[in-house]
Structures are given as C-alpha cells and as structure tokens.
Structure 1
C-alpha cells in the first residue's frame, strides 16, 4: 500500500513540475520564425537555459504551433499540425559553460523540462513571397535573466513593427504567444 501511495505521489509531483505547453498563434499574413527560450527562472543565474529555433521552417500565415516541451518538439501535434519542427536545442548548464546541442529526441531534455519553463521568444515575420520587411523582429517574454517582462508589443508611429500586435501571457500554467 505504501508503494502505491509513493508511486502516486511521485507521478503527481512530476506532473506538477513538468514543463508546460507553449501555444503559438500566427494571425498575420506573414511567415513567423521563432527562437524559443526556456530557463530555470527560480535561481539568479537562470541556468540551465535552453534555446531552440524553427528556422528556416516558419509558422505559416494564419498558422498554429504547439510544443509540449523540448523533447520530441520535432513531431507536430495533432491539435497543431502546422507546428514546424524544432530539431535541436542548445543547452547551457552554467555561466561560461559549453553549449551542448541536443537533438529533440534526447533523453536529457525530459529531465531539463522539470526545472525550466518557457521564458522568451525572439521572433521575426517574413513575407511569404520572400521580400524583405522592415521592423519585422522583436523579443517578447522575460527579456534577460530575471529581467523585464514584455507582454505586449504594438505597432505605433514610435515603434513601427511589420505586425500590428503581439501578446505573451501565461494562463493555467501554459504559455501563449499571439501575433496579429
């Protein structure tokens, strides 16, 4: 009986601290290229930190992407079949440490997801026809380790983005990035 309760406790603990899903909604007429970052934001150094990119495969115009974590991020989910693959992640464990590139199916990424969560998206939009766009990129989320949290970017005369609005928020433990 004790083993059953211990097993249930262990499973629920891992479930509570597992990395959450990030949902990306591209409501623009542009291709969206993301560089997603995760980190352990409970310590002053934000290590380990993890960075992956879907470049050169963008989220298409009016597209949706979902990543349930780093591991297996190269497999689109049925709910978001447009999710471009993230085939590798750059992992840094400490300051002045070597950056390790790990494939999306690496067994190391599962345990790292227990201590990290989504932190930032460095992104840009690109014309589907290949033409260049001015002011097409930005960063949203927590800018720098324990830095400023940017939750909204809006196209104005003082900040003329190629997109109208971008939002970053967390709800029910899951992260959302919406660009329109």
Structure 2
C-alpha cells in the first residue's frame, strides 16, 4: 500500500462538485484496474489450457514409445525438450491462478459511517467534502496495490508467451540429439 495522502490543506475551499469529480475519477481508475485483472485471469486460463493440452499430447506420445526407440526417434527427443518448455510455462501460469488480491471501488459501511465524519463542528457540505477526500486517499492505496498485482501477473503471462515461442525449436534440438546418438 502506498503512503500517499492528498495534500489539500485548504479543503474548505473544495466544493461539493469538485469533490464529486475527484471521487468519480478515482473510481474510474479503480474499475479499469479491476477489468484489467479479469483480462489477465482470462489470458492465464487460455494459456494454461493451451500449455496443458500440448503437454498432455506430448507426454502421451513419449510414454507410448518404447524406451529403446527414444534415442532414435526425432519426435521423442523433441518432445522431451517441449515438455521442459511447457513445464516452465505451466508453473508460471499456476502462479497466476493462485489467489491474488484485487481492490474494488466502493467502501464498506464500517469505514464510512465513522463518527469523525459526523460528530464534528463542520457543516454538512464540509462533512461531505472531508468524506470524499478520505475516500480518495483510500482509493489511491487500492490503485497502487492493484497496479502492482496486475504488473506482476502480466509479467508472468509475458514470460510464458516468450518461452512458448521456443517450442518450435524443440524439434530442431530433437533432430540434433537424434543425429548425435546415431
């Protein structure tokens, strides 16, 4: 969480309308980050499905071959390299599926129905502005957390995509290995 707090010293000069605008803009960013987290999860699910499908097919092929045929079969040797690549990808994708924290817009009544916003000498408009400014601080903390979580999960997906591009190279490595053992 960030340590950011708004630096508005003359908060009594902030009108209700301006405070509303601050809140709406903060909510927009928070909602977009929530959508981004959903898209990352969807992409992770798809990549994991593709990786597991290939890994299962390749593993089935390798297991179906007799051990004596392994050193002479280009596809078996290629499959071993492919399984290593796919194993890394699945490991990274599973990390993205583990529970992660995402903060959403809105506030629980326990937070906003606090005496500090009600039992004071401020007018109702001043109370409203103070509540909005407090909420903006809370939203900034949420935005910072969501941004960090989304960046980590996106980075994992990007690594998986980069590593998957090496999958065709496993055929070349398998061919080299087969020729080496002949």
| TM-score, normalisation: structure 2 | 0.27
Larger Rg: 2
Of Structure 1 and Structure 2, which has the larger fraction of its residues in helix? Answer: 2
Could you tell me the TM-score, scaled by structure 1's length?
Answer: 0.27
By percentage of residues, which structure has more strand? 1
Q: Which has the higher contact order (CA 8 A, sep 6+)?
A: 2
